Amino acid sequence: MKAFILDAYKKNAALRPGDMPVPALDDDDVLVEIHAAGLNPLDTKLRDGAFKRLLPYRPPFILGHDMAGTVVRAGSRVHQFKPGDEVYARPRDGRVGTFAELISVNEADLALKPKNLSMEEAASIPLVGLTAWQALVERADLQNGQKILIHAGSGGVGTFAIQLAKHLGATVATTTSTANVELVTSLGADVVIDYKSEDFEKVLSGYDVVLNSLGGDTLRKSLNVLKPGGKLISISGPPDPAFAREQGLNWFLRQVMRVLSFGIRTKAAGRGVAYSFLFMRANGGQLRQITSLIEAGIIRPVMDRSFPFDATNEAMAYVETGRSRGKVVVKLK
């Protein structure tokens, strides 16, 4: 099968187009013909080697964390899916590889594609949808009437999280550039901070939750908008000891995580705020709940553009600019 392969960890390296064997199918797996694959900043970070000590990949391997496609074959213990089903997923860590014609996915990671979405639209959803769900529903337990600040509202996670937070009944503030104010407002943002002309920490206060996807300076400033008892959830780091335990990392790496997050955890504790790092995980059950929201018209995908599969490296370079509005996908069929 055709695929885009990472031969070695290297910053800004191009993926190699080539042929790879058809993935093996275990009893609990589903073999999917991929129609479209979503791209994420996680792909570029993984390529650059940012997670080589944390995630179980050894080059050469196929990159890609989002996909939508059609079931070709199901393992003997698979009961929810059959050949011909249209599905989508964020495959679990250790088994990614959606920049390819075929992928083998554990049944538990998979869900039927929303009926009202194209394959390209569906491929844009899993990683950002699950990230937003696990941050807002699981980690934050966001409630009706609470206030949340979502940074980078025009990005892939931000566009989804704004809509989910509004569905949960929260008042939503977001940061974005001047060019994207109209977009985030259309998604439901109540308060929009143009970061080019305003400082969010001087405008906002008394918030229950902050979802951060930006750098360390923004992370530290975010403490100042939270009220005591508030929650600062970061998907961009630094990793904390709880994450290290969840990942089953060795003693040395646990201590590294403890040191990396010591400053922000200490500052948060001093303000009576909880800090946590979120690294989303595959979850077909949560994806099915997201499907229901999409089919009900509560959440819509926000896509920047689609590239042909042959232009996967160009698509990666575009994602790396940080200027995309919503998601970028590559189309295989």
Residue 332 tokens, joined: 């295989």
What digits encode the pLDDT tens for the residues 44-56?
999 999 888 888 7
Whether the predicted pLDDT of 237 surpasses 80? yes
Angle in degrees, CA 57, 62, 63, rounded to 5: 85
User: Among 26-30, 106-110, 248-252, 323-327, which is the least confidently predicted range?
Assistant: 248-252
Whether the predicted pLDDT of 190 surpasses 80? yes
What digits encode the pLDDT tens for the residues 191-203?
999 998 999 999 9
Whether the predicted pLDDT of 78 surpasses 80? yes
What digits encode the pLDDT tens for the residues 141-159?
999 999 999 999 999 999 9
Domains and CATH numbers, the chain: 2-124+302-331 (3.90.180.10), 128-277 (3.40.50.720)
User: Among 41-55, 61-75, 121-135, 309-323, which is the least confidently predicted range?
Assistant: 41-55
What does the pLDDT read at residue 295?
Answer: 98
What does the pLDDT read at residue 322?
Answer: 87
What does the pLDDT read at residue 247?
Answer: 84
What does the pLDDT read at residue 136?
Answer: 98
What digits encode the pLDDT tens for the residues 258-309?
998 999 999 999 999 999 999 999 999 999 999 999 999 999 999 999 999 9
Residue 112, Cβ density class (10 Å: 0-12 exposed, 13-18 middle, ≥19 buried): middle
What digits encode the pLDDT tens for the residues 198-234?
999 999 999 999 999 998 899 999 999 999 999 999 9
Instruction: State mean pLDDT over 32-44.
Output: 97
Angle in degrees, CA 325, 331, 333, rounded to 5: 155
Q: Where are the alpha helices (DSSP H) in 208-250?
A: 216-222, 241-247
> Residue 181 and residue 159: Cα distance in Å, rounded?
12
What does the pLDDT read at residue 244?
Answer: 87
- Per-residue DSSP letters for 247-276? HT--HHHHHHHHHHHHHHHHHHHHTT-EEE
What does the pLDDT read at residue 193?
Answer: 97
On average, the pLDDT of the chain sits at 96
What does the pLDDT read at residue 177?
Answer: 95
> Residue 53 and residue 56: Cα distance in Å, rounded?
8
> Residue 165 and residue 148: Cα distance in Å, rounded?
8
> Residue 93 and residue 215: Cα distance in Å, rounded?
24
Instruction: State mean pLDDT over 243-256.
Output: 87
What digits encode the pLDDT tens for the residues 83-109?
999 999 999 999 999 999 999 999 999
What does the pLDDT read at residue 246?
Answer: 86
> Residue 107 and residue 40: Cα distance in Å, rounded?
23
Which residue has 């496609």 as its token pair?
69
